[in-house]
């Protein structure tokens, strides 16, 4: 497994989030994105329901936050978080994840659907039509788009994953659901969904809806239909209220609490 590949939902049953992951009952593994996201619950007054989008497939179940070091199950979380474990090249290129980030840098968003039989974040161009773009959007809102929380605390409804940082000398913004590895500089196609940030402006929000402790725990059949319901799909107020607060409280501390593995560090 590549040293740059992120982990998800490890060390769930550990009461201590920084316990040695190599020991029985140890804490989360290095580069575990969901464990870093879960620290927001451990260190603030937010409650687990804040991490559930009422329009998504996740569901709220009360649990004692302090008894876990990661989300107890994939369905307890509706959102993807900016992977805080960059590649060595990104660190060398002045990648950062702290209070100096700009209003264009994404912090979290409705959950990444990942590449799938219909398409996905790496398979669309920034000029793709609405139907094609839906294959790359979050399933939380019937693929119409996603709420994105940016590092300064503001939230925007985006109908495309090309809504990250502005890329110098390119016509499109960073794709928030894939890194920039092998991205076509003209169309924006390409990248890696399960990968580390590759440069200073690169962000990849994880996990995807298919990630879990034992692999692909969700199937396409269990995810919402690509056809929206007859009712209007309004943005989730929980994401607006909860994750904006989380971004203000957690964006500075989260990476300093869970450092990347030595293989990824500069």
Mean pLDDT of 232-258: 44
pLDDT of 134 above 60: yes
Q: Determine, yes or no, domain membership for 11.
A: no
Q: Determine, yes or no, domain membership for 223.
A: yes
Mean pLDDT of 48-69: 82
Q: Is-contact 95 200, C-beta < 8 A?
A: yes
Given pLDDT bands bounded at 50, 70 and 90, which one contains residue 262? very low
Burial of 165 (0-12, 13-18, 19+ CB in 10 A): buried
Q: Is-contact 221 77, C-beta < 8 A?
A: no
**Distance between CA atoms of residues 188 and 191, nearest Å:** 8
Q: What is the pLDDT of residue 225?
A: 53
Q: Is-contact 112 177, C-beta < 8 A?
A: yes
Q: What angle do CA 163, 236, 107 make, to 5 degrees?
A: 40
Q: Determine, yes or no, domain membership for 60.
A: no
Mean pLDDT of 128-147: 93
pLDDT cut 90: percent of the chain above it: 50
Given pLDDT bands bounded at 50, 70 and 90, which one contains residue 57? low
Mean pLDDT of 232-245: 44
Q: Which helix (H) or strand (E) holds 91?
A: helix 88-92
**Minimum mean pLDDT range among 41-55, 146-160, 194-208:** 41-55
Q: What is the pLDDT of residue 247?
A: 46
Q: Determine, yes or no, domain membership for 130.
A: yes
Q: Determine, yes or no, domain membership for 36.
A: no
Average pLDDT across the chain, whole number: 81
Q: What is the pLDDT of residue 216?
A: 40
Q: Which two tokens stand for residue 90?
A: 């990104």
Q: Is-contact 86 197, C-beta < 8 A?
A: yes
pLDDT of 265 above 90: no
pLDDT of 144 above 90: yes
Q: What is the pLDDT of residue 90?
A: 94
What sign does the CA torsion over 7, 215, 132, 76 have? negative
Q: What is the pLDDT of residue 238?
A: 39
Q: What is the pLDDT of residue 117?
A: 84
Listed residue (198, 207, 214) closest to 35, CA to CA: 207
Q: Determine, yes or no, domain membership for 74.
A: no
Q: Determine, yes or no, domain membership for 112.
A: yes
Q: What is the pLDDT of residue 244?
A: 46
Residue 189 domain boundaries: 79-248
pLDDT cut 70: percent of the chain above it: 77
Listed residue (52, 6, 51) closest to 29, CA to CA: 6
Q: Give the CA distances from residue 216 to residues 93, 114, 211, in Å, rounded to whole numbers and listed in that order.
A: 33, 12, 6
Q: What is the pLDDT of residue 36?
A: 93
Q: What is the pLDDT of residue 116?
A: 84
Strands 146-150 and 106-110: antiparallel
pTM: 0.83
Domain count, the chain: 1
Q: Determine, yes or no, domain membership for 127.
A: yes
Given pLDDT bands bounded at 50, 70 and 90, which one contains residue 138? very high
């Amino acid at each position: 497994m590549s040293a740059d590949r992120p982990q998800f939902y490890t060390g769930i049953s550990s009461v201590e989030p920084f316990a040695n992951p190599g020991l029985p009952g140890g804490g989360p593994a290095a580069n575990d994105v969901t464990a870093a996201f879960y620290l927001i619950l451990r260190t603030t007054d937010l409650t687990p329901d804040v991490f559930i989008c009422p329009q998504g497939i996740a569901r709220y179940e009360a649990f004692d936050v302090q008894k876990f070091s990661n989300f107890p199950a994939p369905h307890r979380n509706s959102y993807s978080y900016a992977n805080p474990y960059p590649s060595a090249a990104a660190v060398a290129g002045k990648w950062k994840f702290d209070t100096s980030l700009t209003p264009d840098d994404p912090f979290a968003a409705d959950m990444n659907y990942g590449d799938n039989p219909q398409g996905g974040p790496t398979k669309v161009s920034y000029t793709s039509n609405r139907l094609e773009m839906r294959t790359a959007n979050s399933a939380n809102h019937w693929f119409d788009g996603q709420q994105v929380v940016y590092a300064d605390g503001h939230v925007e409804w985006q109908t495309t994953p090309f809504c990250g940082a502005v890329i110098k000398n390119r016509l499109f913004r960073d794709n928030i659901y894939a890194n920039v590895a092998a991205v076509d500089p003209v169309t924006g196609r390409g990248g890696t969904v399960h990968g580390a940030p590759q440069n200073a402006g690169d962000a990849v929000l994880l996990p995807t809806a298919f990630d879990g402790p034992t692999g692909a725990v969700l199937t396409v059949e269990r995810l919402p239909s690509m056809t929206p319901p007859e009712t209007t799909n309004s943005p989730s107020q929980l994401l607006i209220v909860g994750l904006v607060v989380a971004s203000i409280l957690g964006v500075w501390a989260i990476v300093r609490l869970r450092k990347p593995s030595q293989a990824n560090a500069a």
